[in-house]
Amino acid sequence: MSESKLPELKNDRFLRALLRQPVDRTPVWMMRQAGRYLPEYRATRAQAGTFMDLCRNTELACEVTLQPLERYPLDAAILFSDILTIPDAMGLGLYFEEGEGPKFKKPVRSSADIAALEVANTARDLSYVTDAVTAIRRELNGRVPLIGFSGSPWTLATYMIEGGSSRDFARAKEMLYNRPEDMHQLLTVLADSVVEYLNAQIRAGAQAVQIFDTWGGALSHAAYREFSLQYMARIVQGLIKEHDGRRVPAILFTKGGGQWLEAMADTGADALGLDWTTDIGAARNRVGDRVALQGNLDPSILLASPARIREEVATILAAYGQGSGHIFNLGHGITPQVDPAHAGAMIEAVVELSAAYHSGI
């Protein structure tokens, strides 16, 4: 089915808020909303085999993307995939160890390793992602918008250099400080890969995109600007800005990035994601109406009682204040041990309490 034949979007609250246009209430979605906290996800994951088998199975990736929308009145779906698909497509051999997270069989350590890398070929090696986007858009049938995403160049580089997850990013930072030319070469090929990848998702049907800079907050003030933000700005400038007659907003999310909001807004992104360490009211005062803000409930609050969750939702809504430009979300991904009913309590609170902050449309 071609995109032109897809039905009109029935709920565009999320896209309108990203562009700071009036809405009737604050839209809400959750990072990792399709994930291990849902029993139906765990059942589908078991059916798929490995995690990457699930990502590569168009039908099952579509199924798990839609699962949270069957439970909750969410205002957006997000593609089910992984941030490490690009380095996997570069031939680094991504695999997952139970309880240890992602690992690469061929880490990138030397200048020769970096020189051998080419921009990831999305059409050839990541077609399973764009196939999933197309299938999800078809199954959504205009219900809510679909978010595409990628990891940031710096975040992808940390996994590629370390060979997996890391506490201190020692190898990546050693390269950054001792061999900055190698790091810049790596980040350039990654940034160009992300542009191609996200644009392919947009052409396949993604209606907004988010760049996850999970580890940008591990950098020093100067290093963040040089080795993370510079490359995210390059990506934003290279993205398709309008598709199928509608603006395609871009969201930047740096975990631990609250001190750099003004510089992040300078990239041309439409919205900034906030983690829970930044007050959203203070953030709004700093960036004004330049960008929308997304966030920023501490995911751990979802381990508390529904009444306590409701209080925290009310606090964040009040901190942002009147008007559009706020997309309610967690400050990072929902954790596996959360009771799905508690996630529901958060979403219900947003739906019920946020209309008071909007004059309607």
Q: Binding site: which residues? A: 32-36, 82, 159, 214, 332
**What is the phi/psi pair of residue 341, to 5°?**
-65, -30
Q: Which of 24, 42, 82, 308 is catalytic?
A: 82
For residues 255 and 273, what is the distance between their CA atoms, to the nearest angstrom?
8
For residues 328 and 29, what is the distance between their CA atoms, to the nearest angstrom?
7
Enclosing H/E stretch for 180: helix 180-204
Q: Which of 13, 25, 32, 310 is catalytic?
A: 32
Contact 132, 192 (CB under 8 A): no
Instruction: Please list the residues that pair with 148 across neighbouring strands.
Output: 209
Contact 327, 312 (CB under 8 A): no
Nearest CA among 117, 47, 36, 32 for reference residue 82: 32
Cα three-residue angle 201-155-312, rounded to 5 degrees: 85
Q: Which of 159, 197, 224, 231 is catalytic?
A: 159
Confirm whether 231 is a catalytic residue. Answer: no
For residues 115 and 96, what is the distance between their CA atoms, to the nearest angstrom?
26
Confirm whether 45 is a catalytic residue. Answer: yes
Instruction: Please list the residues that pair with 205 across neighbouring strands.
Output: none
For residues 122 and 199, what is the distance between their CA atoms, to the nearest angstrom?
10
Nearest CA among 333, 316, 337 for reference residue 29: 333
Exposure b/e, 114-151, CB count within 10 A at least 16 = b: beebebbebeeebeebbbbbbbbbebbeebbbbbbbbb
Q: Binding site for substrate: which residues?
A: 32-36, 82, 159, 214, 332
Confirm whether 203 is a catalytic residue. Answer: no
Contact 195, 235 (CB under 8 A): yes
The single residue listed with the structure tokens 């990891």 is: 151
Contact 268, 249 (CB under 8 A): no
Confirm whether 32 is a catalytic residue. Answer: yes
Give the residue numbers annotated as catalytic, written as ranges.
32, 36, 45, 82, 159
